[in-house]
Structure 1
Amino acid sequence: MLHMIKLAVGCASPDILREWTKTERINGHVYVQTRTKPKRTAEILDGGSIYRVMNGLITCRQPVIGFDHYTRPDGHQGTLILVSDDVIAVQPRPMRPFQGWRYLKPEDAPADLKGGQQHNDGTANLPPTLRARLTELGLL
């Protein structure tokens, strides 16, 4: 098994991503667009997920269910990463911005949060930038 990690550009929270999954669909599937197809698709399709970075934090994941091709507006071929409708909250972890996507080994992936709750101590309502800073400091 192998995971992927990608920035969720323009998405500030897992709740917004859940809303996007209701409208951003192709052939009935939620998708993530990318230019290049991963070479290790078989490993990703063996239980892998795409982890999403929002506001400098890895915040959630979506199980990958397949890959498909599409034609980009510039006429070149791209890849659609087909993902589950499920947006699963994970233990937030700081992550610097990067372009494209990266592979993520299972042992390096943040753990799922129980019950999908961000934190039951009231910190879920903090602004994302404050949560990110507190996480960087090891206080969350």
Structure 2
Amino acid sequence: MALNILKLCVGCDSVEDLEEWIAFKLDERRRAGEPVEHFHTTRMVPSRTNEVTSGGSLYWVIKGNVQCRQLITEIRPFVDGEGIGRCKLMLDENVVRTDWQPRRAFQGWRYLKAEDAPADLGKGHAGLVAMPADLRQELASLGLL
């Protein structure tokens, strides 16, 4: 069974912000002549790599709620210029919106078992996806999402 990773999405106020940032970074890499691939760099390398890369996703916590996920396609450990071990979580550039799930702030990342992960928003939730981010946040703070 696939194992997921849970991470705070620092600097983004909404899923739309995350999508814009991904598009910007991919365009930057394209213009620089670098491989057009999307990744998130982290210090700790997951020890359960095979489980994570067997269909696991990176679930993003935005403004106190898990709101979306990206498929993890590969984990690439490396040593940075300062000699510190890190890894790149290679991600599918498509962002999949999920049911909102409240989460407290934490440092780093956490494993997230498949049975504890929020469900993807289905096609029947088009109105929720189209709703402005600030309205979704307000409804979530009231416990209505």
Aligned to 1:24: 25
Name the counterpart of 2:135. Answer: 126
Instruction: Say whether residues 1:52 and 2:60 are aligned partners.
Output: yes
Aligned to 2:30: none
- How much does 1:76 deviate? 1.1
1:65 offset after TM fit, Å? 0.5
Equivalent-residue separation in structure 2 for 1:66 and 1:118 (angstroms): 33
Count of paired positions: 136
Q: Distance in 2 between the 1:20 and 1:41 partners?
A: 26
Q: Which has the higher helix share?
A: 2
Counterpart residue number, 1:112: 120
- Which residue does 2:29 correspond to in 1? none
Segments of structure 2 that go 5 or more residues without pairing to the other structure are 27-33
Q: Where in structure 1 are there 5+ consecutive unaligned residues?
A: none
Partner of 1:64: 72
Spell out structure 1 runs of 4+ moving beyond 6 A: none
Task: Tell me the distance in 1 between the aligned counterparts of 2:24 and 2:142.
Answer: 33
Are the structure 2 counterparts of residues 94 and 68 from structure 1 closer, same or farther at C-alpha, using a change threshold of 3 Å?
Answer: same
Percentage of matched positions with identical amino acids: 37
RMSD, matched Cα: 2.3
Distance, in Å, in 2 between the alignment partners of 1:8 and 1:86 is 15
TM-score by length of 2: 0.82
**Structure 1 length-normalised TM:** 0.85
